[in-house]
Amino acid sequence: MTRENLADASDTLESAADATGDDDAAERLTSLADQLDGLATRDRDPDHGRLARIENALNDLEDSDVTEQVQSAHESVVAFRETVEGV
């Protein structure tokens, strides 16, 4: 299964980290981008719990100065999560 949605979300968050004026938000965005990049390239799919934690972190960042990019990344994560079997 392709994990393009996770790779797209990672790229979007990297751009958002570069664009934000908030150092704390930039650090969180970079961390999330790194996590998503790792999930996009590893051998097995991430579980729903891991994806839910990432979604919650993205929800916390939606009120930042890069809202549109965060929302776009969130949509990509949700799109991938819909393809994961389980709960």
- Evaluate whether residue 3 is within a structural domain: yes
- Evaluate whether residue 87 is within a structural domain: no
Its pTM stands at 0.92
- Evaluate whether residue 71 is within a structural domain: yes
- Evaluate whether residue 63 is within a structural domain: yes
| SS3 sequence of the chain | CCCHHHHHHHHHHHHHHHHCCCHHHHHHHHHHHHHHHHHHHCCCCCCHHHHHHHHHHHHHHCCCCCHHHHHHHHHHHHHHHCCCCCC
Number of folded domains that form the chain: 1
Q: What is the pLDDT of residues 33-83, one digit of tens each?
A: 999 999 999 988 899 999 999 999 999 999 999 999 999 999 999 999 998
Residue range of the domain that includes 7 = 1-82
pLDDT at 1: 44
Q: What is the pLDDT of residues 2-44, one digit of tens each?
A: 599 999 999 999 999 999 999 999 999 999 999 999 999 998 8
